A and B are shown apart, each in its own frame.
Chain A
Amino acid sequence: MNIFPKSADNIAQASASPELPGDIVIWFLILLEITTFALMFLAFSWVRGQDRELFLAGQQVLHPLAGLINTIALLTASGFVAQGVIENRRNKQNHAAYWLYAGVASATVYVVVKCWEYWQLGLAGYGLESNEFFMVYFLLTGFHLLHVLLGMSFLVIIARKLRRGGYGPSDALGLESGACYWHMVDLIWVLLFPIVYIIH
């Protein structure tokens, strides 16, 4: 089954032309960001290889279910944002704004769960200086959390502009750029989740 059919229905839902969605600048920023995270993932994996027992012990303290909930929250937020872009293309800017706000609400679940995880680890006495595992764990997930918060801010600004009629089907560069930035945040988590939480 092809989930990206080139049918008339799909063209109405998706991008109308085979052009890069959003501004080219945002794509270079995305490349820069994913390269930075790639280096961090490789560093995490390399340090893990140096002291496998320490990392396995560290993973036992984490909450994989919290990681799963966060993955579902971010994927859901991405789905909402993607739907918002489609609604704008249908000239339904208010609906598009609601989808973006729904995305922010879903992302808020991620932020709350992540803060709860940090709080739990803090209560158990784990911090940046506990050992190498927790140092890279807090740096990696904290850096990602900052990107989530930045992405949420973009989504709120874009949704407010949508409500004011600032975007339309032929004028969606900012909306598409913000959406692509958000999907990048999701893409990074898709790799971060298995590396940190579930691969033993």
Chain B
Amino acid sequence: MINRTSLIWFILILITIGSYILADVSTMPWIAAIILGLAAIKGYLIIDGFMELYGYKGFMRYAMNLYCPILGLFIWLLVKQ
């Protein structure tokens, strides 16, 4: 049976390759939004999966999990101009 770490790693690699391929498709701003959204999902997998914050109810988990989506949003707003 595939273990949890391997599964998270596999999903992260798939998303990475997907983002890489997607970047070649178009330079439209919505492509950048999707790529940054995928980066946020990768961030969530690293934070909750590898860092083992899943199940922890404190401030640190919320702060960490908000990091990628909020930063990604600001970056997108700056990049799409």
* A residues with CB within 8 A of B: 3-4, 6, 10, 13-15, 18-21, 27, 30-31, 34, 38, 41-42, 45-46, 48-49, 64, 68, 71-72, 75-76, 78-79, 81-83, 85-86, 176, 179-180, 183, 186-187, 190-191, 193-195, 198-200
Contacts and interface: CB of A to CB of B under 8 A. Distances in A.
B32 to A, nearest CB: 5
Tell me what chain A mostly uses at the interface: helix, strand, loop, or mixed.
helix
Contact of A76 (B7, B9, B32, B81): B9
Nearest to A22: B51
Nearest to A191: B39
A31 B42 CA distance: 18
Contacts of B47: 183, 187
Given A3-B8, A68-B17, A42 B74 contact: yes
A27 B11 CA distance: 25
22 contacts: A6-B55, A21-B51, A27-B60, A31-B63, A41-B75, A45-B78, A48-B78, A48-B79, A49-B81, A64-B20, A72-B16, A75-B16, A78-B46, A79-B9, A79-B12, A187-B46, A187-B47, A187-B68, A194-B35, A198-B20, A198-B23, A199-B35
Given A68-B17, A191-B39, A4 B4 contact: yes
Nearest to A83: B5
B11 to A, nearest CB: 7
Given A18-B57, A20-B58, A200-B23, A183 B51 contact: yes
Interface of B: 3-9, 11-13, 16-17, 19-20, 23, 27, 32, 35-36, 39, 42-43, 45-58, 60, 63-64, 67-68, 71-72, 74-75, 78-79, 81
A46 B6 CA distance: 37
Contacts of A48: 78-79
A193 B6 CA distance: 22
A74 to B, nearest CB: 10
Given A68-B16, A72-B13, A198-B23, 20 more contacts: A3-B8, A3-B49, A4-B4, A14-B52, A14-B54, A20-B60, A21-B51, A31-B63, A42-B75, A76-B9, A83-B3, A83-B5, A86-B5, A179-B50, A187-B68, A190-B42, A190-B68, A191-B68, A200-B23, A200-B32
